[in-house]
């Protein structure tokens, strides 16, 4: 056989020998010409292959020929590559994983043999873990580099070095580059790790840990040393952790109160921490002198840091003066004669005085050092409260008595000024400007340099500079709003006189009550009077689930629904014509107090009198010349030309006040909000509790405020009104006929 193979190998080159070998074969066939050729299969390899990888299956056997077929599930259209009697090679790419039967048949389709072939899914190993190659750090950026691997991405992790027990956080995943600049928003220290990732998974990580330490430099205080002697100022520089790379940093000196005569300046020098080191130092030379001076300082600035974060970039070096200061010497104190109860500035004179010396005087609890002194003189302020001879001691900072003086405290010869606020002022709830007047007399007959009114938050200067004579009076106009501090309705005016002895003397005081109009709006809410529930269309017995949270669920109508004093949450008290409270059962009353808002309301009548419900008025405000003053509507007693009889809101208000309704005389038109407070939205025609407010018209009632609008527009010719038919609130033209229900402030 071998011989023949060798012979066949020569076929190509020695074609002439072909017949020799062929004839040999022919010869053997010739020997047994009736024996049929039997195709036998003896083996198949490989039997284990990988999915989707092209593979050459070798079928070995005997008498093989190119009619033999190779079939296997997942092996599409195998291609016959090599054809010999003992060996056939089929090439295909298996595309179904698992164990498949490879079946070999002869040219007639006869089964020859089969073998199980294991088709494994592609096995890819997780990548190698990458190595961290290089790291750089500067403030704010950590630069990380690592080695490259094929067909992977990288995931970079970090964590605070102070939290090594905590888990790593992903800085960036799916990185294809082999470097990354991590922006650090804080000055913490981070450790880094990098891993490689492919479809088989992630490599191990924490292969390299980068420590970017924080650098600290300590400030330094040291004595300067003797004259001409150089003292080394050694600055300790430390890392809070050993770095994994060499750390370098530059430093320089920056002059402070110390100048370059005091130390050897350094413009730029560098220090280095080899890997593993955490401490080093550098030295600046300080040159001593003999001057008595304050402590001086210069700064060290760090910069150009590499592989480190600056924990502190600047420190101060303090050169302590070690030359002894001289002991203060006190020569004099003035004045030595003062007036009792008068603030006096005392002057201490001498040498080497500092701001640390103190002045102690009997009956003067604390003499206050005044700024602006120097080593020759220092000033103190003090008021002596008792007459007589008082000891004054000047003390050093160590409490040594430097010198003692005697001070004569004499009685005040001057007689203080007097004065009086002569024209007070408006009463309660006054609105607008008020006039005040005052006189102040200094009985010495001395000129008054200044007279002021002073209140808690403002002062008015009535007279300044040329206030001559001793019987002057002054008058001024003030607006109380300027004095109102928002919390206390009392305004106190004080009259002060600053006399020629520079004494501020309060000579009179007046307290009066005043409230800005807006204060009236601190009106407690008395609720709406709605006690029934509704859906979109109708009244219902109880609150529907999909209409929850409506008016009747909340407020005084729920928590204070005592009907004896008014419907739902309202609470009223009847008042008689003298202003006395009546029981709820009273049948006649003149006014009603709302116990929630405190307001007192006029009752309307049906008797044709002043308060009759059918009276109608136009809106008029005389002092502003606004509204419609004269004769738009009939009312009781109207007489042409007699303003007191006019049918407008102001004339009516004056008439009611002069009648002293319920013993009161500050009746006024209600503010819109006050009028709204009377609306009972649970009632209509009228929308008010008629048990307490009978004789209410189904009409608009005037409020005090005009409508806001552009002057001249027409809209500013309206005022607000509340319609008590159903309770709506809108503007009403001034000349319209509307009803009035006056209100009186709470008593």
The residues that touch other proteins, with contacts defined as CB under 8 A, are 486, 517-518, 521-528, 530, 532, 534-539, 546-551, 553-556, 559, 624, 671-673, 676-677, 679, 681-685, 687, 705-711, 713-716, 718, 720, 726-733
Bond preceding residue 574 cis, omega within 30 of 0: no
Of 261 and 624, CB closest to other proteins = 624
Of 158 and 719, CB closest to other proteins = 719
Q: In angstroms, what CA-CA distances link 205 with 131, 135, 170, 171, 615?
A: 9, 16, 12, 14, 95
**CB 678 to other proteins: min, Å:** 10
Of 547 and 562, CB closest to other proteins = 547
Supply the angle between the helices 2-9 and 18-31 in degrees, to the nearest 10: 150
**CB 628 to other proteins: min, Å:** 16
Of 51 and 676, CB closest to other proteins = 676
In three-state secondary structure terms, 179 is strand
In three-state secondary structure terms, 339 is strand
**CB 624 to other proteins: min, Å:** 7
Rounded Cα gap, residues 402 and 330, in angstroms:
6
Question: What is the token pair recorded at 200?
Answer: 């088989």
In three-state secondary structure terms, 414 is coil
Any bridge partners for residue 69, and if so which? 105
**CB 719 to other proteins: min, Å:** 10
Question: What is the token pair recorded at 711?
Answer: 């002057």
Rounded Cα gap, residues 290 and 146, in angstroms:
60
Rounded Cα gap, residues 238 and 702, in angstroms:
83
Rounded Cα gap, residues 156 and 78, in angstroms:
46
Of 317 and 722, CB closest to other proteins = 722
**CB 626 to other proteins: min, Å:** 9
Q: What is the largest CA-CA distance in the chain?
A: 170
**CB 691 to other proteins: min, Å:** 16
**CB 283 to other proteins: min, Å:** 53
Query: Given phi > 0 = left and psi -120 to 50 = alpha, else beta, which region is 176?
Result: alpha
Of 155 and 520, CB closest to other proteins = 520
Of 455 and 526, CB closest to other proteins = 526
Of 16 and 714, CB closest to other proteins = 714
**CB 738 to other proteins: min, Å:** 13
**CB 627 to other proteins: min, Å:** 13
Query: Given phi > 0 = left and psi -120 to 50 = alpha, else beta, which region is 249?
Result: beta
Place of tokens 């309206």: 718
Rounded Cα gap, residues 699 and 728, in angstroms:
10
Q: Per residue in 712-736, is it b (16+ CB within 10 Å) or e — as a string?
A: eeeebbbbbbbbbeebeeebbbbeb
In three-state secondary structure terms, 323 is coil
Of 240 and 571, CB closest to other proteins = 571
Place of tokens 């956080």: 169
Question: What is the token pair recorded at 353?
Answer: 């005085």
**CB 716 to other proteins: min, Å:** 7
Of 133, 160, 143, 137, nearest to 249 by C-alpha is 137
Rounded Cα gap, residues 92 and 106, in angstroms:
19
Of 538 and 578, CB closest to other proteins = 538
Of 511 and 535, CB closest to other proteins = 535
**CB 453 to other proteins: min, Å:** 24
| Cβ atoms 394, 357 nearer than 8 A | yes
Of 642 and 685, CB closest to other proteins = 685
**CB 298 to other proteins: min, Å:** 45
Rounded Cα gap, residues 179 and 130, in angstroms:
12
Rounded Cα gap, residues 266 and 254, in angstroms:
8
């Amino acid at each position: 056989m071998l011989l023949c193979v060798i012979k066949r190998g020569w076929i190509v080159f020695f074609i002439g020998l072909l017949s020799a070998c062929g004839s040999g074969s022919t010869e053997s066939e010739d020997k047994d010409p009736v024996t049929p050729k039997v195709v036998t299969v003896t083996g198949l390899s490989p039997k284990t292959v990988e999915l989707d990888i092209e593979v050459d299956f070798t079928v070995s056997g005997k008498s093989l020929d190119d009619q033999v077929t190779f079939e296997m599930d997942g092996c599409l259209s195998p291609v016959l590559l090599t054809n010999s009697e003992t060996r056939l090679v089929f090439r295909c790419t298996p595309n179904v994983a698992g164990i498949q039967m490879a079946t070999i048949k002869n040219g007639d389709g006869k089964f020859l043999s089969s073998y199980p072939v294991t088709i494994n899914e592609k096995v890819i190993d997780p990548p190698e873990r990458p190595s961290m190659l290089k790291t750089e750090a500067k403030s704010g950026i950590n630069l990380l580099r690592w080695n490259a691997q094929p067909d992977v991405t990288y995931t970079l992790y970090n964590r605070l070095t102070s939290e090594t027990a905590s888990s790593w956080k992903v800085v960036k995943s799916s990185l294809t580059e082999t470097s990354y600049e991590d922006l650090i928003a804080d000055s913490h220290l981070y450790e880094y790790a990098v891993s490689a990732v492919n479809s088989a998974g992630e490599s191990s990580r924490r292969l390299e840990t980068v420590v970017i330490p924080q650098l600290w430099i300590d400030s330094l205080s040291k004595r300067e040393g003797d004259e001409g002697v150089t003292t080394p100022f050694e600055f300790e520089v430390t890392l809070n952790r050993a770095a994994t790379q060499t750390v370098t940093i530059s430093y320089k000196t920056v002059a402070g109160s110390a100048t370059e005569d005091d130390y050897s300046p350094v413009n730029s020098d560098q220090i280095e921490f080899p890997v593993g080191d955490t401490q080093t130092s550098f030295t600046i030379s300080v040159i001593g002198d003999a001057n008595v001076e304050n402590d001086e300082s210069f700064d060290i600035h760090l910069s150009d840091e590499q592989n480190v974060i600056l924990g502190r970039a600047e420190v101060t070096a303090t050169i302590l003066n070690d030359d002894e200061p001289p002991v203060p010497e006190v020569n004099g104190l003035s004045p030595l004669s003062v007036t009792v109860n008068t603030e006096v500035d005392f002057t201490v004179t001498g040498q080497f005085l500092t701001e640390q010396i103190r002045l102690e005087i009997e009956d003067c609890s604390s003499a206050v050092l005044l700024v602006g002194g120097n080593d020759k003189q220092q000033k103190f302020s003090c008021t002596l409260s008792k007459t007589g001879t008082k000891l004054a001691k000047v003390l050093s900072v160590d409490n040594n008595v430097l010198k003692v003086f005697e001070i004569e405290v004499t009685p005040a010869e001057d007689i203080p000024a007097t004065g009086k606020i002569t024209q007070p002022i408006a009463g309660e709830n006054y609105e607008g400007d008020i006039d005040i007047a005052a006189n102040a007399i200094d009985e010495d007959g001395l000129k008054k340099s200044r007279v002021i009114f002073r209140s808690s938050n403002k002062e008015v200067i009535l007279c300044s500079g040329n206030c001559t004579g001793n019987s002057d009076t002054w008058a001024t106009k003030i607006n109380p709003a300027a004095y109102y501090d928002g919390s206390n309705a009392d305004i106190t005016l004080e009259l002060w006189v600053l006399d020629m002895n520079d004494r501020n003397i309060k000579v009179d005081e007046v307290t009066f009550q005043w409230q800005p109009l807006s204060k009236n709006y601190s009106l407690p809410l008395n609720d709406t009077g709605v006690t029934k529930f509704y859906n979109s269309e109708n009244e219902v017995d109880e609150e529907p689930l999909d209409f929850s949270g409506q008016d009747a669920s909340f407020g005084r109508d729920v928590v204070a629904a005592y009907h004896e004093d008014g419907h739902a949450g309202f609470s009223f008290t009847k008042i008689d014509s003298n202003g006395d409270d009546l029981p709820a059962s009273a049948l006649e009353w003149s006014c009603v107090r709302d116990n929630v808002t405190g307001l007192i309301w006029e009752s309307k009548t049906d008797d044709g009198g002043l308060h009759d419900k059918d009276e109608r008025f136009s809106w008029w405000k005389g002092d502003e010349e606004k509204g419609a003053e004269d004769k738009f509507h009939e009312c009781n007693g109207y007489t042409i030309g007699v303003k007191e009889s006019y049918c407008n809101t102001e004339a009516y208000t004056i008439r009611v006040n002069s009648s002293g309704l319920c013993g009161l005389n500050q009746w006024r038109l209600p503010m819109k909000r006050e009028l709204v407070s009377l609306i009972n939205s649970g009632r209509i025609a009228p929308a008010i509790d008629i048990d307490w407010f009978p004789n209410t018209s189904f009409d608009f009632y005037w409020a005090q405020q005009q409508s806001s609008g552009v002057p001249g527009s027409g809209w500013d010719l309206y005022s607000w009104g509340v319609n008590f038919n159903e309770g709506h609130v809108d503007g009403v033209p001034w000349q319209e006929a509307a009803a009035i229900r006056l209100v009186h402030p709470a008593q």
